Structure 1
Amino acid sequence: MRTVLALDLKDDPALIAEYEQHHRRIWPEIAQHLKQQGVTGMEIYRLGTRMMMVMETDDAVFDAAAMAAATDTDLRVRAWEELMWRFQAPTPWTPAGQKWVPMTRIFDLSQQQD
């Protein structure tokens, strides 16, 4: 399954540069955690301070609630999330207490008729 999520960065060029530097080579434990949770692919794009994540998951393995629980109990993953929150900011539409929020697909070329 493909999920597209959005999140903002704090509007500070130095923080944005540091955030991008962290993502050039994420901690090995983070990559392992994602794969164990059924994430088969992940890309993050940025325009200004707005970010978009495209996450591919294996439906037979991935469970968002289980991933959140694993994130809460793994000290290294929690440390990564706390570090990332130093750079991140919720979008204006993000519910309190959340970070990445799903975007709504409004167009799919494959569903268009010729």
Structure 2
Amino acid sequence: MKTIRHCFSCDLKDDPKLIEEYKNYHAKGNARPEITQSIKDAGIVDMQIYLTGNRMFMIMDVDETFDPQKKAEMDAANPHVQEWEALMWKYQQGLPWAKEGEKWIALEKVFQL
């Protein structure tokens, strides 16, 4: 199976207590099964989030069934995802150049070995 990689960035609020809470929500074994299932159902085969300071980087590998528009529609229709996204806004904030309400911004690949 061929996968395509997408990379995104988002900031957390620069508050050590909130950052630790966010990390705890995402710690191994703490992920909500409804959320991880919605990720898999969208054709996402692997997702990793890395953190430095309060800036996060997400690496997302998707299969040929992934469609960002379809994922957005699925998320909008899923009350579990909507609840999760509302909760995560307690911790996340848009990048300084993000549009209003925009969280995860696609990264531009500038190098590959």
TM-score if structure 2 supplies the norm length? 0.93
Aligned counterparts of 2:22 and 2:62: Cα–Cα separation in 1: 24
- Structure 1 unmatched runs, 5+: 110-114
Partner of 1:103: 107
**1:70-109 residue pairs with structure 2 within 5 A?**
70-109=74-113
State the identity %: 41
2:34 equivalent to 1:16: no
Matching residue within 26, 31, 47 for 1:26: 31
Residue 98 of structure 1: how far off its partner (Å): 1.4
Matching residue within 50, 61, 65 for 1:45: 50
| Larger Rg, first or second structure (1 or 2) | 1
Residue 97 of structure 1: how far off its partner (Å): 2.5
| Residue-by-residue CA offset, 1:89-109 (whole Å, 9 max, x unaligned) | 000121222110100010001
Aligned counterparts of 2:46 and 2:7: Cα–Cα separation in 1: 12
Matching residue within 72, 85, 106 for 1:68: 72
Residue 85 of structure 1: how far off its partner (Å): 0.9
For these two proteins, the number of residue pairs brought into alignment is 108
Aligned counterparts of 1:66 and 1:27: Cα–Cα separation in 2: 21
Instruction: Give the helix-richer structure, 1 or 2.
Output: 1
Partner of 2:62: 57
Alignment RMSD (CA, Å)? 0.7
Secondary structure in structure 1 of the residue aligned to 2:26: helix
Partner of 1:112: none
TM-score if structure 1 supplies the norm length? 0.92
- Structure 2 unmatched runs, 5+: none
Matching residue within 1, 5, 17 for 1:2: 5
Aligned counterparts of 1:85 and 1:97: Cα–Cα separation in 2: 10
